[in-house]
Amino acid sequence: MTTLNSKVPKGDNLSEKWSKYKEHINLVNPANKRNIDIIVVGTGLAGGSAAATLAELGYNVKAFCYQDSPRRAHSIAAQGGINAAKNYQGDGDSNYRLFYDTVKGGDYRSREANVHRLAEVSGNIIDQCVAQGVPFARDYGGLLDNRSFGGVLVSRTFYAKGQTGQQLLLGAYSAMNRQIARGKITMHNRHEMLDVVKVGGKARGIIARNLITGEIERHSAHAVVIASGGYGNVYFLSTNAMGSNATAAWKIHKKGAYFANPCYTQIHPTCIPRSGDYQSKLTLMSESLRNDGRIWVPKNIEDVKAIREGKLKPTQIAEENRDYYLERRYPAFGNLVPRDVASRAAKERCDAGYGVNATGEAVYLDFASAIQRYGKEQAKIHNINNPSESKILELGEAIVEAKYGNLFQMYEKIVAEDPYKTPMMIYPATHYTMGGVWVDYNLMTTVEGLYCIGEANFSDHGANRLGASALMQGLADGYFVLPYTIGDYLADDIRTGTISIDSKEFDDAEKEVKERLDFFINNEGTHSVDYYHKKLGKIMWEKCGMARNKKGLEEAIQEIQEVREDFWKNVKVPGSLNEFNQELEKAGRVADFLELGELFAKDALNREESCGGHFREEHVTEDGEAKRDDKNFAYVAAWEYTGKPSEAILHKEQLEFKDIELKTRSYK
């Protein structure tokens, strides 16, 4: 059995570990790099930046993505921004402060050394992206602009309008294009990795399906990097792209890579609520809205009823009959409490029956007082004495439009209500997965030569991710961390030569993949893949969602097993193998979600504490807040697969906090 060794360099001060590490690792001679192949699965920010950098260093890179182009990876959708400790604003930011905020924000469940390294390279990321032509926002002096995000006291978030993820991904994609043109990256678009191949205990290749022709292909390499993103779609409804999936991560888990903290998912508080059973995904409204919007539900349950029946409008409810519950419960932070706190508070109100839409799952995000405030301010600025009410509204709305116009427009398109005139409705939704494949300091999994980067791994965010940190981690891993750590490993492989794809190991893996696909096509079932995915999602949301308890989790495990059993008997997949078949793609992904879901519940059950995005109802303080248990649970739960999710074995990586004192998070 593998022992869990984080490989964090011993000895040196935290702030010197990474630089000393780099000075002492083995290097691969440039002439030898030409003889080494690396497979990168996924071309989002993590995989795209890794592929480009590894190719530039001289390795032969084979990159894979399921979309028709790397530019369409889910990273494209990130809105708000990317953090970096540049201290351009002179407000006291530093590597240490970014490190500190990230560890605290993650509720002390991330690995100190990794987070410190992340903070150290964050500044480089911005330099790199600017050099590539990423059009970050600028101020009038031509210098880079910053904004501030939840959970921190400095302005360190770089952004490109509300499309930061898009611009960063296009930057990484352009770096890839340069290498594709040079022949150093072979890009396999519309290919899905369906298994990893191990030879002599080391990752030496993958089995992939060409999604257009259906052909099953073998690809070999000296090392394999998984950058396949997060598994939020285990909930069916989430803010993730429709195709985001766990397959690559789950397949490597089954081949020996431990899966860490699967129950750590982030529920984002400001999403557009679900409107009906047909709904396919949830749309995020940027967190920045909470800077000006006030969150409330009616105080009286009769008012709630009248609203749901359409007899009353929210604007008709008098100020004294509104419950601004975040301001009431958290006077210091108010509407700006971190994501996990805001999400739970909304759920608490809705569970108590105060939800304001038809499904009872929505609260108001109200801009009326911001519009008034800005309107009056503008009237003064423009020397308008005794402005009329309509003038105030006009002036105020103009300011709100300048700040959030595109978001208001997006809301109106989806909901068909004017958020300038009536409060928005919002509800929490699954957004980001902090759990993922366990990796050591080198970003290697528990399988030799198999790496995992970006959202697919677990290491940097602990139990709760702060805004604008995922993009930072993806690019840090891909541009600046993996290219060093993988070289140290590959230095031993310079004489290995090309890895053959004609071996028993490849035969076996391919056979397994084919059998599974055959099963789907030939099974004469009765229910569609979505039918099962929705069932799983419902269990996950109700019993493994924002708040969980022992009884619910035990039920969830049971129910997921039942759905899975039914799936393998009665799923129906039309069409054939050797063609473009989107139902077949979905079937494989949902099959994996049905196993991961169970491990998720098992992990949540094991963690007898509340921390970050993970709230156990049994572990609360007297006033109903999350209660962490550092004595017993300051560890990473890394699960080893042994045949069934129910039989997974728990390994613990004890977390040490030497540079930061463990403290209770409080936002009162």
Ligand X SMILES: Cc1cc2nc3c(=O)[nH]c(=O)nc-3n(C[C@H](O)[C@H](O)[C@H](O)COP(=O)(O)OP(=O)(O)OC[C@H]3O[C@@H](n4cnc5c(N)ncnc54)[C@H](O)[C@@H]3O)c2cc1C
Mark the segment that binds another protein (CB under 8 A) among 39-47, 193-201, 456-464, 569-577: 569-577
Q: Please identify which residue in the block is written with the tokens 């009769």.
A: 302
In the bound state with ligand X, the residue whose beta carbon lies nearer, of 460 and 493, is: 460
The residue within the footprint of another protein, chosen from 153, 301, 414, 649 (CB under 8 A), is 414
Shortest reach from residue 56's CB to ligand X, in Å: 18
The residue within the footprint of ligand X, chosen from 165, 171, 435, 645 (CB under 6 A), is 165
d(Cα 438, Cα 110) in Å, to the nearest integer?
A: 12
Shortest reach from residue 656's CB to ligand X, in Å: 26
Strands (E), 465-616: 547-548, 615-616
| In contact, 446 and 254? CB cutoff 8 Å | no
The residue within the footprint of ligand X, chosen from 171, 293, 314, 454 (CB under 6 A), is 454
Q: Which positions from 180 through 209 interact with ligand X, judged by CB under 6 A?
A: 192-193
Using rule CB under 6 A, residue 339 touches ligand X: no
Q: What is the pairing mode between strands 259-260 and 436-437?
A: antiparallel
Type of residue at 464: N
- Binding site partner of 574, from another protein, ligand X, none, Cβ cut-off 5-8 A by kind: another protein
Distance of CA 583 to the CA centre of its chain: 25
Shortest reach from residue 633's CB to ligand X, in Å: 25
Judged by DSSP in three states, 147 sits in strand
Using rule CB under 8 A, residue 226 touches another protein: no
Contacts of 69 (CB under 8 A, 6+ apart): 173, 189
Using rule CB under 6 A, residue 43 touches ligand X: yes
Q: Please identify which residue in the block is written with the tokens 């201290």.
A: 87
Using rule CB under 6 A, residue 455 touches ligand X: yes
Q: In 3D, which of 234, 72, 242 has the Cα closest to residue 582? A: 242
DSSP letter for 477, please: I
Using rule CB under 6 A, residue 469 touches ligand X: yes
Mark the segment that binds another protein (CB under 8 A) among 38-46, 122-130, 383-391, 444-452: 122-130
| In contact, 544 and 558? CB cutoff 8 Å | no
- Binding site partner of 65, from another protein, ligand X, none, Cβ cut-off 5-8 A by kind: ligand X
Q: In 3D, which of 158, 649, 198, 242 has the Cα closest to residue 449? A: 198
Q: What angle do CA 302, 305, 310 make, to 5 degrees?
A: 125
Report CA Rg, the chain.
25
The residue within the footprint of ligand X, chosen from 35, 110, 220, 245 (CB under 6 A), is 245
Using rule CB under 8 A, residue 522 touches another protein: no
Mark the segment that binds ligand X (CB under 6 A) among 36-44, 256-264, 400-408, 500-508: 36-44
Shortest reach from residue 398's CB to ligand X, in Å: 26
Mark the segment that binds ligand X (CB under 6 A) among 222-230, 405-413, 617-625, 627-635: 222-230
Q: Which positions from 415 through 434 interact with ligand X, judged by CB under 6 A?
A: 431-432
The residue within the footprint of another protein, chosen from 580, 617, 656, 664 (CB under 8 A), is 580
Using rule CB under 8 A, residue 170 touches another protein: yes
- Binding site partner of 262, from ligand X, another protein, none, Cβ cut-off 5-8 A by kind: none
Contacts with ligand X by CB under 6 A: the residue count is 45
Q: In 3D, which of 288, 366, 282, 271 has the Cα closest to residue 325? A: 366
Using rule CB under 6 A, residue 436 touches ligand X: no
Q: Which positions from 246 through 265 interact with another protein, judged by CB under 8 A?
A: none
- Binding site partner of 178, from another protein, ligand X, none, Cβ cut-off 5-8 A by kind: another protein
Contacts of 466 (CB under 8 A, 6+ apart): 83, 101, 102, 105, 106, 149, 150, 151, 152, 338
Q: Which two tokens stand for residue 655?
A: 């977390």
In the bound state with another protein, the residue whose beta carbon lies nearer, of 135 and 497, is: 135
The count of other CB atoms within 10 Å of the CB of residue 668 is 10
Mark the segment that binds ligand X (CB under 6 A) among 24-32, 300-308, 377-385, 468-476: 468-476
Shortest reach from residue 172's CB to ligand X, in Å: 9
Q: What is the 3-state secondary structure (H, E, C) of 552-589?
A: HHHHHHHHHHHHHHHHHHHEECCCCCCCCCHHHHHHHH
The count of other CB atoms within 10 Å of the CB of residue 404 is 23
d(Cα 554, Cα 232) in Å, to the nearest integer?
A: 21
Q: In 3D, which of 577, 475, 597 has the Cα closest to residue 521? A: 577
The residue within the footprint of ligand X, chosen from 40, 78, 225, 655 (CB under 6 A), is 78
Residue 115: phi and psi, rounded to 5, are: -65, -35
The residue within the footprint of another protein, chosen from 422, 503, 528, 646 (CB under 8 A), is 528
| In contact, 245 and 231? CB cutoff 8 Å | yes
d(Cα 602, Cα 262) in Å, to the nearest integer?
A: 9
Q: Which positions from 60 through 89 interact with another protein, judged by CB under 8 A?
A: 67-69, 71-72, 74, 76-77, 86, 88
Of 339, 465, 589, 607, which one is the catalytic site residue? 339
Mark the segment that binds another protein (CB under 8 A) among 30-38, 238-246, 422-430, 660-668: 238-246
| In contact, 61 and 186? CB cutoff 8 Å | yes
> Has 548 been annotated as catalytic?
no
Using rule CB under 8 A, residue 276 touches another protein: yes
Contacts with another protein by CB under 8 A: the residue count is 75
In the bound state with ligand X, the residue whose beta carbon lies nearer, of 433 and 442, is: 433
d(Cα 618, Cα 91) in Å, to the nearest integer?
A: 41
- Binding site partner of 459, from another protein, ligand X, none, Cβ cut-off 5-8 A by kind: none
Active site residue ranges:
339
What are the residues binding ligand X (CB under 6 A)?
Answer: 41-47, 64-67, 73-75, 77-82, 164-165, 192-193, 227-230, 239-240, 244-245, 247-248, 284, 431-432, 454-456, 468-471, 474
